[in-house]
Amino acid sequence: MATRSGIGPQMDAQAVPLRAWSVLAASTLAFMVCFVVWMMFGVLGVQLRTDLGLNGTEFGLLTSTPVLTGALMRLPLGTWTDRFGGRIVMTILLIVCAVPVYIVSYATELWQFLVIGLFLGCVGASFAVGTPYVARFFPPQRRGFAMGVFGAGTAGAAVNLFVTPLLQAAYGWRFVPRIYAVALLVTAAIFWLASAPDPGAGKANASWLDSFKVLRNPRVWRLCQYYSITFGGFTALSLWIPQYLKGEYGMTLVAASAFAAGFSLPGSVLRAVGGALSDRFGAHTVTWWGLWVAWICLFLLSYPSTDFAIHTINGTATLHFSMSLTGFLALAFVLGAVFALGMASTFKYVADDFPDNMGVVTGIVGLAGGLGGFLLPISFGILLDLLHVRTTCFMFLYGIVWVSLILIYLSEVRRTPVIA
């Protein structure tokens, strides 16, 4: 018997109904708009840092506060999606979050931005709603691709880097949250009209406590590790790179934000590619090799501008090493791309291993990634204040990826073939 959405329980692997594509398009749009709003402090914060006289730690706290609630709310919203359906939960989320976004335009002190940021950050939890919602409209053979396309909504980070500085330059920073609040309401209307009832809503008869028993499975925590690196690193660097480029290369805010999109854009668009590759070669292969490429990129980005004085028999010879802007942008592009592949492959794991608990598992894995995105910018700020070396952010990520590769090798590679 077909469900209300017209999708039967034994969906053909190749014939995906038109309604499924409509749901995918509407969900991706909603997630992209949410991501624009979620990341806006990464641009607005550069001006606020000057206006409020913030140090590196305070700047990291300002930009990452919305990420905290975006992380913490992913678990409950993922659970509510399993019970009430993605269409209802996403629509309510878009409407409710428009209120704190608008209120940002009236804030004048750091504590006010932090408090309001906690509430507006809930838009970042939209990922935990859309991922299981979209996946339920596609057969297992196409879910990696579908979730990758939805995950490409993180292109909102790049849209933020292009649009926010232009709006800020033309109308002032207080205009930005007001127009974004309106955008959330318009998106809610579009999403409701283009989406469909969730075929998996309310099918679980277990209690809320029983639905969380899946968290006892150690595989869930391994996926949390992967996603805290890929999504957490992507989110943190999307927030941090504009001010890094402004300080390291002397760019204007508009130029720094535009160049920072060289990291954010591939990290968004290529999620669909990562999903397709995970369908073809397996989630493990994509995750393993993606982290190795990230390790190489971070090693090169970690090296600060350095002058060497070498005492030779003919006198002193000097050598200068520094990362050119072109080199930085190229490495950032590759790093964003492999983070995108890793984000997509992680949720291919989720769809394959936990098809009956996707909402809960998506929520907890998304929570881990969001917490990474919250803690990393603060860590970047602390390291910058202590060591006064801008590349410490990449050094820190390099160490995390290195440790993670070791853990993945010990837990998976020795028992799982790397090539599918």
Structural domains in the chain, sorted by start: 18-201+216-413 (1.20.1250.20)
Is there a contact between 366 and 347 (Cβ–Cβ < 8 Å)? no
- How far is it, in rounded angstroms, from Cα 185 to Cα 182? 5
State residue 268's pLDDT score: 67
Q: Which residues of the chain register pLDDT less than 70? A: 1-15, 202-212, 267-268, 356, 359, 412-420
- How far is it, in rounded angstroms, from Cα 43 to Cα 276? 32
- How far is it, in rounded angstroms, from Cα 115 to Cα 65? 8
H/E element holding 36?
helix 18-38
- How far is it, in rounded angstroms, from Cα 298 to Cα 301? 5
Q: Which residue has the tokens 């854009």?
A: 265
- How far is it, in rounded angstroms, from Cα 283 to Cα 277? 8
State residue 89's pLDDT score: 93
Report CA 209 to chain centroid distance, whole Å: 28
Is there a contact between 136 and 89 (Cβ–Cβ < 8 Å)? no
Neighbouring-strand partners of residue 312: 315
Report CA 405 to chain centroid distance, whole Å: 20
Question: Amino acid letter at 7?
Answer: I
For residue 413, give every residue at least 6 positions away whose Cβ sits within 8 Å of its Cβ, in sequence order, or none: 288
On the 0-12 / 13-18 / 19+ scale of CB atoms within 10 A, 155 is buried
State residue 65's pLDDT score: 86
Backbone CA torsion sign across 223, 127, 37, 286: positive
Neighbouring-strand partners of residue 310: 317
Is there a contact between 366 and 125 (Cβ–Cβ < 8 Å)? yes
Instruction: Say how many C-beta atoms besides its own lie within 10 A of residue 29's C-beta.
Output: 16
For residue 205, give every residue at least 6 positions away whose Cβ sits within 8 Å of its Cβ, in sequence order, or none: none
Nearest to 45 by CA among 282, 300, 238: 238
Instruction: Say how many C-beta atoms besides its own lie within 10 A of residue 174's C-beta.
Output: 13
Neighbouring-strand partners of residue 316: 311
Is there a contact between 113 and 18 (Cβ–Cβ < 8 Å)? no
- How far is it, in rounded angstroms, from Cα 287 to Cα 345? 6
pLDDT tens column, 215-254: 777 778 878 888 888 888 888 888 788 888 888 888 887 7
- How far is it, in rounded angstroms, from Cα 236 to Cα 73? 18
- How far is it, in rounded angstroms, from Cα 352 to Cα 286? 15
- How far is it, in rounded angstroms, from Cα 149 to Cα 159? 16
Q: Which residue has the tokens 């952010």?
A: 393
Whole-number CA gyration radius for the chain: 22
* Per-residue buried b or exposed e for 399-419, using 16+ beta carbons within 10 Å of the residue's own CB: ebbeebbeebeeeeeeeeeee
Is there a contact between 101 and 206 (Cβ–Cβ < 8 Å)? no
